[in-house]
Amino acid sequence: MSLLLTSLISSGQFSGNGLGYFGLSIFESVGYSTSMQFSLNVLNQFISATGAFLGMACSDRMPRRKALVFGTIAVAFMLCITGSLSKLWVENANTGTVDPRVGQAAVVGYFSFWFV
């Protein structure tokens, strides 16, 4: 039982939840003002809550194993998209060819991650 609990806690730490600590840095690097960063942060909380409520509403209707597998794959996919777009944003910024659409797409990926 303790091995199961330890692996559950450990896998939870690798699920990407630390991404939330970098929200303001992500918004700042894209070029949003401080007031817009605050607004985006508040919006992200509402998006996260909406995703949580939808998941909660479906929890009795979906088999738990399928929901866990689908959720894990969806979160991993969204984290890969967000990471890829963020990497592309940084590479473009380092070469001086900044495309705001890439940064905005990374922000959308960030929101999508938290929704899932």
pLDDT digits (tens, 9 = 90+) for 35-94: 998 899 899 889 989 988 888 888 788 887 888 888 888 888 888 888 888 888 888 878
Phi, psi of 44 (to 5 degrees): -60, -35
Max mean pLDDT range (43-47, 93-97, 103-107): 43-47
Tell me how many degrees the CA angle 23-28-29 measures, rounded to the nearest 5: 100
CB 104 within 8 A of CB 30: yes
pLDDT digits (tens, 9 = 90+) for 5-51: 677 666 666 665 666 777 777 788 788 888 998 899 899 889 989 98
- pLDDT the model gives residue 43: 92
